[in-house]
Amino acid sequence: MLTPSKLESLIDQVLPIAQLSGLECDHVHFELVDAEDIHALASYHGLPIRYAHWSFGKNYGRLKTAYDYRLSQIYELVINTRPFYAFIDRLNTDAQTLLILAHVFAHVDYFSHSRLFARTPHDILHKASRHARQIGQYRRIYGNEAVESLLDAAMVVADHVGTSLLMARGPGKEASDVLGYIALHSAHLQDWEREILLMIREESKYFWPQRLSKISNEGYATFWHTRLMRQITLSPKVAWEVAELNSKLLATKAPQLNPYALGSQLYNHLYAKKGLGAVFEARNMLDDAGLIRLALDDEVIQTCHLDIYRESDPNGNTPHADPAHIRAQLIQDVEHAGIPLLTVIAEESKPLGPLRIQHHYDGRDLDFYELPFALKAIAHRLWGGVVEIHTMKQGMHHIASHDGTKWADEVS
């Protein structure tokens, strides 16, 4: 079991080498915690204190079950704030902790330099704590049912918060900040409800860059923990444990994509072709889609065995996919964090009229089984009127709508 003094000793082995390698990894506060604590943190998406909602409990149950059945394990968790907070499982061995520390320091360097996180609020812990207290107070004043139903409806559009600080205020014809637009323009909401929506929006915007950089961030940390471990003198026993953990992190089970494996291979390829400067430039500028566009060539596709992620033919043979198709498919899967791009048609959406939303079709249909429930939640709880979504389904234009009681789907 790790102790604070032992952790400090291990940090002293890794930190100087990380800094000499060019990583900026100062101001990291480490906490030794139990596995249950890490599961709780991860269930809240990495923030120690958040408002209460049943979905976080569902996340915890899923993570705990996977851990109990040895299907997965979370070795560390880093919070992008100032100072950075890194939570490490106290049951990790010394050898595992060496690799984990190298991984953590690389995450810190990524957060410090990536343009995606340039506007991330460094006081998010204080904000999330304040949100939790305020929403808890509203539960006591207005009742659990009123607050819970609002949170449930807000979760439907929580990922659709645009890319700027408050795009909903812009004078443009479309607003990609759907949640912000509703919070500012809905005539149905009371002031306290509007305030809760803006709280959820603020937290969603904190997490949004992380959604865009899963492969690039984890790949960068894996690239560096591999390099740093090679520079530390290890006993045969420790070296074996480090290699064993690294092998687990890089294990790939088709058809699931391992962001650690793919991301590190992309950075390794950049390093081999263009040197360390190209790695740092990619860290600074690129999200997942950009990194794939830049570095995923036929060689990486073969190395990562991406060309066999296809269904077998009737004879049981697995055909190899065309590399160009693989690149296009991967980019589509990670672009905009893999979720549909929605914008409010602002010129046609008025507070006392319908809320019209445009789905920017990319070849993939929306889930028309879930869509009625999603539109009903928005119409009934957030907008207080008709909500329309303009989309495509099987090659035809559709206008799906809900007024809170009735669902309609028209071909236009």
Domain ranges of the chain: 1-206, 342-411
CB-CB neighbours of 361 under 10 Å: 16
The pLDDT of 241-252, averaged and rounded, is: 94
Condensed to tens digits (0 to 9), the pLDDT of residues 287-318 reads 999 999 999 999 999 888 886 555 555 665 65
Res. 169 pLDDT band, cuts 50 70 90: very low
Instruction: Report the range of poorest mean pLDDT among 109-118, 179-188, 247-256, 385-394.
Output: 247-256
Q: Give every CB contact of residue 373 below 8 A, 6+ residues apart in sequence.
A: none
- 217: exposed, middle or buried (Cβ count in 10 Å: 0-12, 13-18, 19+): buried
Condensed to tens digits (0 to 9), the pLDDT of residues 30-72 reads 999 999 999 999 999 999 999 999 999 999 999 999 999 888 8
Given the DSSP bridges, would you call strands 387-393 and 355-359 parallel, antiparallel or unpaired?
Answer: parallel
Could you write out the DSSP letters of every residue in 54-102?
HHHHHHHHHHHHHHHTTS----EEEE-SSSEEEEEETTS-HHHHHHHHH
